[in-house]
Amino acid sequence: MIPVAITGYGAVTACGIGADALWSAARDGRTAVHDVVFPRIHQQQVKQAARISDADLQILLPDAKPRFQDRTAIIGVAAAREAITQAGLGPDDFGERCAVVVGSGLGGAETIETGYIRYLETPAQRGDVMAIPKLMANSTASWIAMDVGATGPTLCISTACSSATQSIGLAADLIRAGVVDRCLAGGSEALLVDVAFAAWELLHVMTTTRCRPFSRERNGMVLGEGAGVVVLESMEAAKARGAEVLAELVGYATNADASDLLRPDLAGVTTCIRKAVESSGLEPSRIGYVNAHGTGTVANDLTETNALRAVFGDAFDGLAISATKPIHGHALGAGGALEFIITVEALRAQIAPPTINWLGLDPKLGFEPVPNVARPFTADAAMSNSFAFGGINAALVVALPGRG
Amino acid sequence: MAEVAARDEDLHRQLLAIVVEEGMIKDRELEAATRLDELGIESADFVMILMAIEEKFGVYIPVDENLTEAKTVGELLDVVTRHIDEHRRQVAS
């Protein structure tokens, strides 16, 4: 596919404010997963998550509009501003030639929860009159568009854990199709509130011990939250304004299993990864690092391993594969953006971040991810995968500038 | 020993009832050797079964390797029974 320039990115996560905080935590294997208490949960069984600290949120509030913005929009706008600053975009670079594609799995979970609780406890009191515009899933995308004056297409993709990866992929499609010159793309998710967390507990996919992707004795994922936004531009638009191209998006594919709502499907996942690699036009051996979806559930990691092995064949053993979710948590609708940013940073630094909490080989997987400590790799390209409930798969391939 | 066997049998019967009810399995006799895939238990039904067990016994059962590997009703009940026993030991201590 025609390469698309990546010229900036920003993130707000449990690792801190900024893409640097996210990348350095991932590279150094420093987890942001901590004990969390949800006082309204009756017999809370899972007691950890990667939550943005109150101190960091306080830093963002003076530049936010909390009366009109849910936590998702506050962190999403902050991530977008960082990305725009890094890209060096000015007021004239937006308008109708700029799109915004920012996804979210659940939208304004905190607004939904506090609104329900307030209504049920004190129905006679006036509720939050801004509840609806705060909780709608496209709120973050719309606030970002308003913040910069982007009047091109503004879209919100809500496909659970694939939301942000599909957003970045669709952004590249819009640019390649000539619809726009540039796009702010990514995702925002903040659902670490009592009732939403209790609902996650019901699914029994979270670990009560440690999230340890691709490891023996793994038994589930750990939730996180955050926002990640990437600036994508056509190569011409980036060059015209003399922007530094950090990396190029060279491959993207998305598909659906159309089989089971929760259980990943090997055929679907394999096809998605294969098509992403094919769309990049790169020999698989040119891809040196994979930031796996790697949730730490038994089913995901087994399916993803088998799919990667099928697509990469002889090149599989040379791949550095890691899952960084035990560090920043599974940020669901934002996860793909956070992991894409880590993937680009990893490629630029030629350092594969570690899969922490890894105890040892799972014979059924038969491979070691980059275990516990980062290691260098040498390659022109890297890949980031997302596989969502609902059987929706998405994968992105990035290359160093000029190497795609 | 007879007491333990009786308790296990009782637990087994309760668990089996949960599988039948939550898995929405009608009109058939479940045996330990019955394969789960023959019962058409979808992933969502599986979660319902775990949830019902959690409510009844207060134990959280993450989907680990042992559970994923369970192919028959008997194997499923073995895994669940181990979790319940472990949970009871923890509560007792």
| A291 CA: distance to closest CA in chain B (Å) | 23
| Mean pLDDT, residues A274-286 taken together | 98
For residue A220, list chain B residues with Cβ-Cβ distance below 8 A: 62-64
A328 noted as active-site residue:
no
- Band of residue B1 on the pLDDT scale cut at 50, 70, 90: very low
A42 noted as active-site residue:
no
pTM confidence score: 0.93
The number of beta carbons lying within 10 Å of the beta carbon of residue A372 is 16
Q: Which residues contact B4 (CB under 8 A, 6 or more apart)?
A: none
**Cα B55 from Cα B51, distance rounded (Å):** 6
Q: Percentage of chain A with pLDDT > 90?
A: 97
The CATH number, out of the four listed (1.10.10.60, 3.20.20.10, 1.10.1750.10, 1.10.1200.10), of the domain defined by the range B2-92 = 1.10.1200.10
Determine which one of A161, A183, A211, A272 is catalytic.
A161
Q: Which pLDDT score is estimated for B27?
A: 62
Question: Whats the size of chain A, residue-wise?
Answer: 404
The number of beta carbons lying within 10 Å of the beta carbon of residue A121 is 8
| Strand duo A98-103 + A154-155: pairing | parallel
- Band of residue A370 on the pLDDT scale cut at 50, 70, 90: very high
| Residue A285: burial class (beta carbons within 10 Å; 0-12, 13-18, 19+) | middle
**Cα A32 from Cα A326, distance rounded (Å):** 8
Quote the tokens at residue A343: 């993937």
Domain boundaries, chain B: 2-92
Residue A172 has pLDDT above 60, yes or no: yes
Contact A207 B60 (CB under 8 A): no
Q: Name A150's bridge partners.
A: A95
Q: Which pLDDT score is estimated for A403?
A: 87
Considering the domain A250-399 in this protein, what is its CATH number? 3.40.47.10
Is the confidence metric ipTM above 0.85 for this complex?
A: no
* CA B54 to each of CA A13, A49, B45, B60: distance values in angstroms, whole numbers, following the listed order: 32, 21, 14, 6
Considering the domain A4-240 in this protein, what is its CATH number? 3.40.47.10
| Mean pLDDT, residues A364-388 taken together | 98
Interface of chain A against chain B, CB under 8 Å?
Answer: 43, 45-46, 201-208, 217-220, 260-263, 297-299, 362, 364
| Mean pLDDT, residues A359-373 taken together | 97
Question: Whats the size of chain B, residue-wise?
Answer: 93
Q: Which of B44, B50, B62 faces A206 most closely, judged by CB atoms?
A: B62
Domain boundaries, chain A: 4-240, 250-399
**What is the rounded average pLDDT for all residues in chain A?**
97
Contact A260 B63 (CB under 8 A): no
Quote the tokens at residue A3: 């390469």
Fold match, A4-240 / A250-399: yes
The residue with greater pLDDT, A1 or A90, is A90
Q: Percentage of chain A with pLDDT > 70?
A: 100
pLDDT in tens, A225-249: 999 999 999 999 999 999 999 999 9
Contact A204 B65 (CB under 8 A): no
**Cα A82 from Cα A217, distance rounded (Å):** 39
A161 noted as active-site residue:
yes
Residue A40 has pLDDT above 90, yes or no: yes
pLDDT in tens, B56-84: 998 888 888 888 888 898 899 999 998 89
pLDDT in tens, A105-156: 999 999 999 999 999 999 999 999 999 999 999 999 999 999 999 999 999 9
Residue at token pair 């790697």: A294
Nearest-CA residue of chain B relative to A219?
Answer: B64
pLDDT in tens, A177-228: 999 999 999 999 999 999 999 999 988 899 999 999 999 999 999 999 999 9
Look up residue A360 and give its DSSP letter: S
3-state secondary structure A43-79: CCCCCEEECCCHHHHHHHHHHCCCCCCCHHHHHHHHH
- Taking one residue from A and the other from B, the number of pairs with CB-CB distance under 8 angstroms is 51
